[in-house]
Amino acid sequence: MNVVARLKDRWISWRVSRVLKRYLDSVRFQVRDSIVFLHGSAQSYEEFLDIGLKVGSVRGVEGVVNEVEWPGKAPEGRREVAASKALIGDYDVVIIGAGIIGSMIARELSKYEIRVALVDKNPDVAMGVTKANNGIIHSGLEEPLGKIKTKLCVRGNAMYDELARELGVRFKRIGGLWLITLRSMPKLKDKLPMSLYVFMLKYVVPLIVKMKAMVLGVPGVRAIRSIDEVKRLEPHVCDDVVAAIQVPTVGIVEPYELAIALVENAVENGVDTFFETEVLGFEKEDNKVVGVITNRGIIRTKIVINAAGLYADVIAELAGAKEYTIHPRKGTILLFDKRSMKYLSHEVAEIELPRPPRTKGGAINPTVSGNVMWGPTAIEVSSKEDTSTSREDVELLIDKFAKTIPSFKGKLMRIFAGVRPATFNEDFIIRPAKWVKGFIHVAGIQSPGIAAAPAIAKLVINILRHEGIRLVPKKNFKATREPELRFNELPAEKQDELIRRNPEWGNVVCQCELVTEAEVINAIERMKRIGVKTITLDGVKFRTRIMMGNCQGSFCRLRVASIISRHCGIDLWKVSLRGGGSEIGVGDVKVLLQTGVSKSG
């Protein structure tokens, strides 16, 4: 280890011992190559988080491995999956995780003459962090200065127009309209005379925001001091708005639609996929990763890219590259029906200064499919699988945004939650592993991960070059992808023409979203084409919008299941929501009378 690194570790040790002062009775730490390892015990999960975040905030810390115990910590709930020794593939690069990040990297790599495999334990693309995201392509302006994520967000945002055009995915630069209201500087509100407070809000806050935009290179940011203009842009926002910041680069996508399109394009350009393939370990030679051990067999590779989302830390540990701990941060989102669109056209949020630590309550925004979303919240949870919603979270969102948009009368249609893979240093970790060769971390990609994703993929390409992977551009790379037809977005003449060519276009399966049988069959075929083995209801849902309307599937779920059953040759009751264990039924209708309640199935 060189002298500089040793000195840096010393400095980090000193700083860590300062920030952990009140915990040092029960918590020990080591520092190695700017990674801090924490051991010992905490009183509660909150303390565990506090310890991790305090250490993560120390300058120069590149990763926090937090193994501090807390009372009530659940034992590691990893399922026992048997590894297979069969060789199932030989690649240059294996990407673990088919979320938005893994998909983006796969597609970027498919531009080059190299053999790439994309591996995911789920039956389909985007079934983890990606699917429960509000789809905002952030500008980067709300991110803190000096972080990698901030830079990548600004850069990634600028790449979206071309990306969306090439892939034929829906992307709209709706723009952000961030309100400055009397609630915007709660700490100053009671300390200053009202007129001065309003002056601060109207002139000083916009100035601060605009200066930050200049530093970050976020284009087009504009302060609006005329309340009339704010109201003209968004007529339904609160009356105590003082000014607003317009951020034209803010956009929206459907994250799963994008991830699916990326994988479709990547597969068309030669990437292989391995779904329902769980990584159980790594084969190494001379401290270099040479193979990925999975439940289905061994995949040989020159390099592994770890884009495993919430489980990136687990995967890294399997490779001997334990450099960070992912702590799950839940976000609850309220989804409103399509009639709510009349209340909103921008991403609307209230500015709060100074920014409350870590939480971002989210925003309200329209989606590309024409719904309105409120959220997400940002609540620390101890389980990576905890995507449950609670009344408290729902009330929190309603309280918050009912102030922002008091005349909103949208109908709440669905409540859902996702979990973000946060690291303790609150930044992306994108770099080669420190002590193992052939392993690249792309971890801790939480918000603004989707906005940053195209720039992340470019960065990974540079890292690969640096690691000695030869990247020769493919001559026959096909950049564009034919977008799927969405019946309800087509003009009547085109609809009629489609039906006359194929009557399946005339058979409405989902009434709420007007999705036809042809679209369901297309979705199934597209899933098969990218290597999906288990056709799930969720897979068809994310591709077609079935079950996403007002009835939430009560009219169409069975019709879709019947089509899947027919096309895949499986029993109707075995069709599942999202893979094994989530089948819609337990057997034939007489099964319980024949075999009893407990034994059947």
Active site residue ranges:
138
Part in contact with another protein (CB under 8 A); list of ranges 115-123, 277-285, 519-527, 583-591 = 583-591
Site for another protein contains 500 (CB under 8 A): yes
Alpha-carbon distance of 312 to 446, in angstroms, equals 12
* End-to-end Cα spacing for the chain: 59
308's tokens: 């495993």
Comparison of 359 and 388: residue with beta carbon closer to another protein = 388
Cα separations (Å) of 35 from 10, 68, 104, 144, 379?
12, 15, 28, 22, 25
Residue type, 333: I
CB atoms within 10 A of CB 41: 15
* Residue 490 CB-half CA count within 13 A: 18
Residues found in the chain:
601
SS3 135: coil
Give yes or no for a contact between 243 and 202, defined as CB atoms under 8 angstroms apart.
yes
CB atoms within 10 A of CB 279: 27
Site for another protein contains 81 (CB under 8 A): no
Footprint of another protein on 135-174 (CB under 8 A) = none
Residue type, 250: V
Site for another protein contains 600 (CB under 8 A): yes
Site for another protein contains 391 (CB under 8 A): yes
Site for another protein contains 412 (CB under 8 A): yes
Pairing mode of beta strands 515-516, 508-510: antiparallel
Site for another protein contains 579 (CB under 8 A): yes
Task: For helices 3-19 and 45-56, give the axis angle rounded to 10 degrees.
Answer: 140
Alpha-carbon distance of 385 to 537, in angstroms, equals 20
Site for another protein contains 598 (CB under 8 A): yes
Site for another protein contains 369 (CB under 8 A): no
Among 67, 229, 285, 496, binds another protein (CB under 8 A): 496
46's tokens: 């909150």
Comparison of 3 and 589: residue with beta carbon closer to another protein = 589
Site for another protein contains 381 (CB under 8 A): no
Part in contact with another protein (CB under 8 A); list of ranges 180-188, 343-351, 474-482, 572-580 = 572-580
Site for another protein contains 596 (CB under 8 A): yes
CB atoms within 10 A of CB 128: 24
Among 13, 345, 507, 522, binds another protein (CB under 8 A): 507
Among 514, 533, 568, 570, binds another protein (CB under 8 A): 514
Omega of the bond prior to 75 within 30 degrees of 0, cis?
no
Comparison of 145 and 597: residue with beta carbon closer to another protein = 597
282's tokens: 């790594």
* Residue 197 CB-half CA count within 13 A: 16
DSSP conformational letter for 202: I
**Dihedral sign computed on CA atoms, order 238, 137, 165, 512:** negative
Site track for another protein across 454-493, x = CB under 8 A: --------------------------------------xx
CB atoms within 10 A of CB 136: 25
Cα separations (Å) of 55 from 36, 420, 452?
8, 20, 25
Footprint of another protein on 259-278 (CB under 8 A) = none
Query: To the nearest whole angstrom, how small is the minimum distance from the Cβ of residue 509 to another protein?
Result: 9
Alpha-carbon distance of 551 to 513, in angstroms, equals 10
Query: To the nearest whole angstrom, how small is the minimum distance from the Cβ of residue 577 to another protein?
Result: 4
Site for another protein contains 511 (CB under 8 A): yes
Part in contact with another protein (CB under 8 A); list of ranges 91-99, 207-215, 283-291, 495-503 = 495-503
Burial label, 354 (beta-carbon count in 10 A; 0-12, 13-18, 19+): exposed
Burial label, 182 (beta-carbon count in 10 A; 0-12, 13-18, 19+): middle
Query: To the nearest whole angstrom, how small is the minimum distance from the Cβ of residue 286 to another protein?
Result: 41
Site for another protein contains 557 (CB under 8 A): yes
Comparison of 77 and 473: residue with beta carbon closer to another protein = 77
Alpha-carbon distance of 36 to 493, in angstroms, equals 63
Quick one: which of 542, 187, 137 has its CA closest to 363? Answer: 137
Alpha-carbon distance of 567 to 328, in angstroms, equals 38
Among 87, 207, 208, 593, binds another protein (CB under 8 A): 593
Comparison of 83 and 398: residue with beta carbon closer to another protein = 398
Comparison of 100 and 548: residue with beta carbon closer to another protein = 548
Comparison of 63 and 553: residue with beta carbon closer to another protein = 553
Site for another protein contains 508 (CB under 8 A): yes
Comparison of 72 and 491: residue with beta carbon closer to another protein = 491
Site for another protein contains 74 (CB under 8 A): no
Among 116, 413, 456, 546, binds another protein (CB under 8 A): 413
Q: How many residues bind another protein (CB under 8 A)?
A: 62
Site for another protein contains 590 (CB under 8 A): yes
Among 415, 479, 568, 570, binds another protein (CB under 8 A): 415
Among 11, 416, 435, 477, binds another protein (CB under 8 A): 416
Alpha-carbon distance of 181 to 238, in angstroms, equals 8
Footprint of another protein on 4-43 (CB under 8 A) = none
Part in contact with another protein (CB under 8 A); list of ranges 115-123, 289-297, 318-326, 382-390 = 382-390
Footprint of another protein on 535-554 (CB under 8 A) = 550-554
Site for another protein contains 499 (CB under 8 A): yes
Query: To the nearest whole angstrom, how small is the minimum distance from the Cβ of residue 562 to another protein?
Result: 7
Residues that bind another protein (CB under 8 A): 385, 387-391, 393-394, 412-416, 492-493, 495-496, 499-500, 503-504, 506-508, 511, 514, 550-559, 562, 571-573, 576-593, 596-598, 600
